[in-house]
């Protein structure tokens, strides 16, 4: 019998209590900027990595420049859960480095009552499949789905004795630690890939790579002179059907698609498709709005044979370049730097198609475009494909963790056995 089995047999043989999260957490507080002194690290939604569930980049703020959403004080051991687009799984555990700092009101701050639950127990609960499906069922809003703090705290979770929690946390942490190490290595490789991708699209590297070509062989042109931007049409999630004509909703570009695709996740009816604006093979589909600067203008090259319907808050770019060359260019720092100058809006960030048309792109020969694509495809496979190398290993470890997590967090409700 394992140590965990012994503890369960000794301390909770008939099951455990299920309590709402709200009964197991403490009240938190907001900063009073009028009397605040000094500077703080600000944890925004994009500060939390969706894969590692670690805080990556923060902004230093003080009274004079604090964003309106910078309100909540966080302490070591707090669990942050993003309530805007909650199924994106932005959550993390606050460590000592960010004790006493500030987070966005877009997070629900969960501070464990440590006489009932441990912070890491709460962290694993928030990562569980049961919590995810609860959030998915209770989020509201089509374009910008969200769940309230009140609804988050109504989720009922198992509350075994602290000794049992501690042993389960120890087992699950062993899985997450190994996954974190593999993810850190993959992140380092991705940074190498991004560096090389940026170099491939720079003037000097392009010129050197094309032996015998002069500077005149590479032309820098506004996107509007190379192709045409067409705005998508009204398409909501309620319009989706099981089969029919393929469609891409702008929100899926953030969450589902990579650099290119030849199949859609969703469909619309033939009747709806007749009225919709449609992208064809080779077009680039671009999300023109987001809640953060990073995701604005995220794009996917459509390589399928059929024309597909595109939603509003997205556009498609019809051009004569190598499709994946344009898609990769949208990921480069050269593109991002230009894009940032055209972003407008506060809560919803946006780039208009008229401004997109002004962004410049280097246009080498079609042969050179294909050569660059061939190189980047290999890097992309190594860093994103779950069928190769580190991504495959990480995916296997995650599935292993999820299996054991769901098993270990499942307890009979002792009230049901009374």
The reported pLDDT for the residue numbered 267 is: 97
- Judge contact between 316 and 301, C-beta under 8 A: no
Q: How far apart are CA 300 and CA 281, in angstroms?
A: 12
Beta strands in 325-397 (DSSP E): 349-350, 360-363
Distance of CA 265 to the CA centre of its chain: 17
The reported pLDDT for the residue numbered 394 is: 83
- CA-based R_g, the chain, Å: 24
Distance of CA 180 to the CA centre of its chain: 17
- Sign of CA pseudo-dihedral 40, 43, 49, 53: positive
Stretches where the chain sits below pLDDT 70 are: 1, 203-216, 385-388, 416-418
- Judge contact between 11 and 411, C-beta under 8 A: no
DSSP state of 202: S
The reported pLDDT for the residue numbered 145 is: 93
- Judge contact between 71 and 46, C-beta under 8 A: no
Ordered by where they begin, the domains of the chain are 18-158 (3.90.220.20), 160-212+365-418 (1.10.287), 219-363 (3.90.220.20)
Q: How far apart are CA 26 and CA 414, in angstroms?
A: 25
For residue 308, give the nearest of 356, 335, 268 by alpha carbon.
Answer: 268
- Cα dihedral 45, 46, 52, 55 in deg (nearest 10): -80
The reported pLDDT for the residue numbered 210 is: 40
Q: How far apart are CA 93 and CA 102, in angstroms?
A: 14
The reported pLDDT for the residue numbered 388 is: 66
Looking only at the bridges linking them, the beta strands covering 299-302 and 59-61 are unpaired
At a CB cut-off of 8 Å and minimum separation 6, what does 213 contact?
Answer: 207, 364, 365
- Cα dihedral 98, 104, 110, 113 in deg (nearest 10): 50
Beta strands in 74-226 (DSSP E): 79-82, 91-93, 102-104, 107-112, 156-159, 219-222
- For residue 403, count CB atoms less than 10 angstroms from its CB and return exposed for 0-12, middle for 13-18, buried for 19 or more: exposed
For residue 342, give the nearest of 360, 326, 329, 319 by alpha carbon.
Answer: 360
């Amino acid at each position: 019998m394992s140590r965990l089995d012994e503890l369960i047999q000794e301390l909770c043989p008939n099951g455990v209590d299920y309590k709402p999260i709200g009964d197991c957490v403490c009240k938190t507080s907001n900063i009073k900027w009028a009397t605040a002194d000094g500077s703080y690290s600000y944890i925004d939604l994009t500060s939390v990595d969706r894969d590692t569930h670690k805080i990556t980049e923060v902004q230093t703020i003080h009274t004079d420049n604090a964003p309106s959403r910078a309100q909540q004080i966080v302490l070591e051991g707090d669990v942050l859960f993003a309530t805007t687009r909650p199924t994106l799984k932005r959550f993390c555990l606050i460590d000592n480095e960010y004790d006493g700092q500030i987070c966005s009101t877009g997070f629900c701050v969960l501070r464990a009552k440590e006489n009932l639950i441990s912070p890491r127990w709460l962290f694993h609960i928030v990562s569980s499949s049961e919590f995810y499906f609860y959030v998915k069922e209770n989020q509201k809003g089509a374009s910008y789905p969200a769940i309230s703090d009140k609804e988050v705290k109504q989720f009922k979770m198992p509350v075994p004795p602290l000794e049992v929690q501690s042993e389960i946390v120890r087992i699950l942490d062993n899985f997450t630690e190994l996954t974190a190490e593999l993810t850190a290595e993959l992140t380092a490789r991705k940074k190498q890939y991004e560096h090389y991708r940026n170099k491939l699209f720079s003037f000097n590297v392009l010129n050197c790579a094309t032996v015998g070509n002069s500077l005149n062989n590479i032309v820098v042109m506004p996107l509007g002179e190379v192709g045409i931007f067409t705005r998508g049409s009204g398409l909501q999630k309620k319009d989706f059907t099981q089969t029919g004509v393929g469609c891409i909703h702008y929100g899926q570009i953030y969450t589902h698609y990579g650099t290119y695709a030849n199949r859609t996740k969703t469909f619309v009816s033939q009747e709806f498709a007749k009225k919709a604006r449609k992208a064809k093979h080779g077009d680039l589909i671009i999300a023109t709005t987001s809640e953060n600067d990073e995701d604005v203008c995220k794009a996917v090259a459509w390589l399928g044979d059929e024309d597909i319907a595109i939603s509003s808050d997205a556009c498609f770019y019809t051009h004569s370049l190598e499709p994946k060359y344009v898609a990769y260019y949208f990921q480069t720092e050269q593109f991002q730097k230009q894009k940032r100058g055209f972003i407008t809006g506060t809560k919803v960030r946006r780039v208009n198609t008229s401004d997109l048309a002004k962004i410049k792109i280097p246009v080498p020969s079609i042969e050179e475009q294909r050569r660059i694509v061939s190189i980047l495809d290999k890097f992309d496979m190594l860093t994103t494909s779950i069928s190769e190398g580190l991504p495959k290993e990480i995916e296997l470890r995650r599935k292993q963790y999820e299996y054991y997590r769901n098993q270990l967090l499942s307890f009979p409700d002792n009230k049901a056995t009374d």
